Amino acid sequence: MGQLLSNLVNGSLVKLNENSQGKKFIKLENDHYGSGTGVTMLRKDAFSEIAWNASDSNGYKNRYFGCTLDNFCDGIWPLKLDPEIRDCIVPVPIVVAEGNNVATLHTIYRKGFALSCTEVGVSGWQTEGKKFAYFADNNKRIANLDETATAVLWGLRSPYSSDDRAYYISTDGTVSFDRVYVYGARFAPRPAFNLKSSIVVSDAPGSDGCYTIESVPGKTGGLYVKNNGVWVQAA
């Protein structure tokens, strides 16, 4: 029968494919970014640490929109997902500080994005959005390197008050900051994104603790289901 993705308890694990390899994602919350914005998901593990930004183009060193971390989460990473899942991503409005010593807040739309200090429940330079209840303590903020038990430093989208630093979550779940350039590669990407609430998942988790996707709405109508690992349109 299945159940709606939106009916899962916050903190539940859901498995999605990246380049045909199953990866675990955490359900954070329904409609966090406004009514109809779907279910916010967060990659359980992080990728390898990278620079937050590789250049200071246009004079912006720690401006999130257009930085290396932003480009990975919103541009590179979604292409790893199955096209049928990618079509179910809901672009959402996220709040970002200008950076470069400018405190002005902006609202930008993203399909994939890094979370902010505010969203993970730690103090930052500016208030960017609102906290997810999931991040109740430091343990909930710790992330490991993909498919390992080794904790990493994972990047947030929040700029620090100086123009060449940004925030990240340390291996103990506390917040810190460092330079945004290559020699300060302390910002492992851990993409968040929103999926349509109408996605249907399994009634119970598998032996790995993860729910699986049973059906998704098609881009132009109808439903798609998996048959022997291949997405097919339901009759």
Query: Do the bridges between strand 192-195 and strand 210-217 make them parallel or antiparallel, or are there none, so unpaired?
Result: unpaired
Residues 6+ apart with CB under 8 A from 70: 64, 110, 113, 114, 157
Is this model's pTM higher than 0.75 or not? yes
Q: Tally the domains of the chain.
A: 1
Model pLDDT for residues 21-68, shown as the tens digit of each residue = 999 999 999 999 999 999 999 999 999 999 899 766 555 689 999 999
For 67-123, write each residue's pLDDT tens digit. 999 999 999 999 999 999 999 999 999 999 999 888 899 999 999 999 999 999 999
- State the residue range of the domain holding 36: 3-233
Contact between 51 and 33 (Cβ < 8 Å)? no
* 135 Cβ contact partners less than 8 Å away, ≥ 6 residues apart: 119, 120, 121, 141
Cα–Cα separations (whole angstroms), residue 201 to 22, 110, 212, 232: 15, 24, 5, 16
